[in-house]
Structure 1
Amino acid sequence: MHFVTGGAFHGKAKWVMDTYSASRKMEGWCNLYDAVCPEAEEFKFKTSLVVIEGMEQLVKKVVQENEKGTREVLKKNLQAWLKWESEVPGRQLVLIGTDIGKGIVPMEEENRRWRDVSGWFFQDAAMAAEKVHVVWYGMEQTIK
């Protein structure tokens, strides 16, 4: 798995497209800003490259739907995706998430929770990933 993070509108998706010769129009590209990606148990793509863009939107949805246990729900998704990737040699999963943990702490509890859980989930994703990159201002930095 490859985890790519960085600021909003800093070129993460473009960097992934260039790196993997991919397109948002390909079958395996899930854009969580516009649509819903299949749930983890329904994750059955026919393509060998799957990109999930907008991981912070998934976190927001999970936070809104769950009073407690949000990190565990997200870990289950992550484990299911990693299982999918490992089942067939050559499969590649790329997660793209916008870092929402910098700046002013939101006043609303739900938004603070979203920010906190996003940070925890991004830590879990980074630990599970083989590669981690941060993209700021269109430039990538290798973290792992």
Structure 2
Amino acid sequence: MTWVNSYDELLASPVNTMNGTVIIYGIEAVIQSFMNDDDPRKSFYKWLDQWLNWEKETAQSKLVLIGVDVGKGVVPIEKEKRNYRDLVGWCYQDVVKEATRVDIIWYGLNQQLK
């Protein structure tokens, strides 16, 4: 099992030596890294697609993505921060569409959504 902390390092694509389960947490930080791209959602989807293809290579490969819900609370005044919140929400929708299982954990309570 490999843990990837996206707050500390951005793993642009799967590493050939990775096998088994790869857990990437902080995917909102990954999404933020694409904010300056011409089409950040498309850039994120390319990143996601590389990982999904990696997962399909072997039966032992499993990808787990963990992200924080940045859409709750007071809406920021700054346009850039609002755009970031929107982008994270759209990218999470893309992740959920591709996922075989989706869970939300709120105050330590797990609820399987998909």
Q: Does 1:108 align with 2:78?
A: yes
Q: Which residue type is aligned with residue 31 of structure 1?
A: N
Q: Could you say which residue in structure 2 is the equivalent of 1:30?
A: 4
Q: TM-score, normalised by structure 2?
A: 0.93
Task: State the 1:56 CA deviation.
Answer: 0.6
Residue 39 (1) aligns with residue 12 (2): yes
Match of 2:65 among 95, 98, 105: 95
CA contact (8 A) 1:43 1:81 kept: no
Q: Tell me, in whole angstroms, the C-alpha distance in 1 between the residues paired with 2:80 and 2:90.
A: 15
**Unaligned 5+ runs, structure 2:** none
Q: Map of 1:53-132 to 2, 5 A cutoff?
A: 53-63=25-35, 65-66=36-37, 68-132=38-102
Question: Looking at both structures, which has the greater relative contact order when contacts are Cα pairs under 8 Å and sequence separation is at least 6?
Answer: 1
1:120 Cα shift? 0.2
Aligned length: 114
Identity fraction in percent = 38
Report the RMSD for the aligned CA atoms in angstroms: 1.3
Question: Which portions of structure 1, spanning 4 or more consecutive aligned residues, are displaced by more than 2 angstroms?
Answer: 42-47
Aligned to 2:24: 52
